[in-house]
Amino acid sequence: MTDPKPAPAKPAARPWIAPLELDPERVDPVRPAEPPPRRSPPVPPVELTPDRVVAVPPGGDDGEEATEDAAEATPPLAALLDRPKSRAGRWLAAAVAALLLVALGFDTADLLQRSFAASVALGAAVALLTAVAAGATLTLVVKELVSLRRLRRIEALRGEAGHLTADGHGGADRFAGGVAALYAGRPDLEPALARLKDAVTDAHDDGEVVRLIDRELLSVIDRRAYQAVLRASRDTAIGTALSPAAILDLLVVLWRNLKLVREVSGLYGARPGYLGSLRLLRRMLANLAVAGVAESAHHVAVEALGGSLAAALSTRLGQGVINGLLTARVGLAAMHLCRPVAFGPANRPSLGRIRAELLSLPKQVL
């Protein structure tokens, strides 16, 4: 609570309606999904002097600019996952995939034919295996698509939350329904959901509903996700410090990061499938490249100090701390990407506590 902000400007005036009292029987008990339109006031015909005319700026009104700002603040997950590829690459991939599929089909048909020719029992067994394989593949693809859709839905929810401001009323119902549907059937979140349902009343405006969802429901998930990140970064730090070979480091870090991302996104209800995880993995590899740089810098520092045993030990520990911090960063990024409401300045998860925890590790080990 630093500087109290003045109330935002009112968007548009509405046509005036005289006060009136109505029959309670006629009241529609359900709130409409859309807020009543705020029409601009009727303007009577009027003649104006041309010198007061101002050119209309291209590109529509402020609302769209706000969207772009919001989009810039948090990189959308879908955009991260589906980077624009060159058209030739896409054609190549599609053609190769089609070729493989056709080849696979031919091979399977051929195999079936030959096994039936050998014996009926063998043929039946192979046919069964084929059916199982086909069914499993289909299931996987469907699951993958569903998980991608879930990611997109969270994405859409976050975009919607950015639009819901203090001036609207009733527009947050759909958003709240979407969030509730996302977390429905999660026994661990049932108390939070019940609390949220109690807290939201008809007197809250859209912005307040979003803030309530943030405070009552998402903060519970935040705490758990933060704990997961903390655990993972400690694991990575210790694992790196103890591992005897560099390649082991890499594997430990990779495995732990992948697990962490799946864990965090699962907590937020956005469990990405294998495809999504692979894409996130690519991002993590970029992070690991930074780890390589940090390692060499550490070596330089140790060399300069004169490679005593303690220095060598501290190199391992230092690497551990840095790898832990990188894991934490990956985890926090996952939190940012999977949250249906963007973090505000007050509740943004900070590296600070994780850093403090990690920096106390060398002391504990030495």
DSSP state letters, 193-257: HHHHHHH--TT--HHHHHHHIIIIIIHHHHHHHHHHHHHHHHHHHHHHHH-SSHHHHHHHHHHHH
Q: Residue 12 Cβ, how far from another protein at the closest point, in Å?
A: 10
Comparing CB distances to another protein, the nearer of 126 and 221 is 221
Instruction: Identify which range of 13-21, 92-100, 108-116, 129-137 contacts another protein by CB under 8 A.
Output: 13-21
345 binds another protein, rule: CB under 8 A = no
351 binds another protein, rule: CB under 8 A = no
198 binds another protein, rule: CB under 8 A = yes
Q: Residue 334 Cβ, how far from another protein at the closest point, in Å?
A: 24
36 DSSP assignment = P
10 binds another protein, rule: CB under 8 A = yes
The runs of H, that is alpha helices, within 82-183 are 87-118, 120-163, 172-183
Q: How far apart are CA 177 and CA 86, in angstroms?
A: 38
Instruction: Identify which range of 1-9, 103-111, 137-145, 290-298 contacts another protein by CB under 8 A.
Output: 1-9
Among 21, 51, 61, 72, binds another protein (CB under 8 A): 21
Q: Residue 11 Cβ, how far from another protein at the closest point, in Å?
A: 10
Q: How far apart are CA 266 and CA 259, in angstroms?
A: 10
Q: Residue 307 Cβ, how far from another protein at the closest point, in Å?
A: 38
Comparing CB distances to another protein, the nearer of 13 and 251 is 13
Comparing CB distances to another protein, the nearer of 30 and 88 is 30
What residues contact 358, with CB distance under 8 A and at least 6 apart?
233, 234, 237, 320, 321, 324, 325, 328
Specify the amino acid at residue 164.
L
Comparing CB distances to another protein, the nearer of 38 and 85 is 38
Q: Are the C-beta atoms of residues 222 and 306 closer than 8 Å to each other?
A: no
Q: How far apart are CA 80 and CA 275, in angstroms?
A: 13
Q: How far apart are CA 215 and CA 227, in angstroms?
A: 18
Among 35, 123, 266, 362, binds another protein (CB under 8 A): 35
Considering only residues 156 through 175, tell me which ones interact with another protein, judged by CB under 8 A: 166-170
Comparing CB distances to another protein, the nearer of 211 and 298 is 211
Q: How far apart are CA 220 and CA 26, in angstroms?
A: 41
Among 42, 69, 75, 199, binds another protein (CB under 8 A): 199
Compute the residue count for the chain.
366
Matching residue, tokens 């609390």:
195
62 binds another protein, rule: CB under 8 A = no
61 binds another protein, rule: CB under 8 A = no
Q: Residue 359 Cβ, how far from another protein at the closest point, in Å?
A: 16
Q: Are the C-beta atoms of residues 195 and 216 closer than 8 Å to each other?
A: yes
212 binds another protein, rule: CB under 8 A = yes
Token pair for 24? 């309670």
Which of 239, 244, 246 has the alpha carbon at shortest distance from 327? Answer: 239
Q: How many residues bind another protein (CB under 8 A)?
A: 46
Q: Are the C-beta atoms of residues 296 and 315 closer than 8 Å to each other?
A: no
26 binds another protein, rule: CB under 8 A = yes
Instruction: Identify which range of 21-29, 66-74, 312-320, 322-330 contacts another protein by CB under 8 A.
Output: 21-29
42 binds another protein, rule: CB under 8 A = no
**Interface positions with another protein (CB under 8 A):** 1-4, 6-8, 10, 13-14, 16-24, 26-32, 35-36, 166-170, 198-199, 201-205, 208, 211-212, 215-216, 219
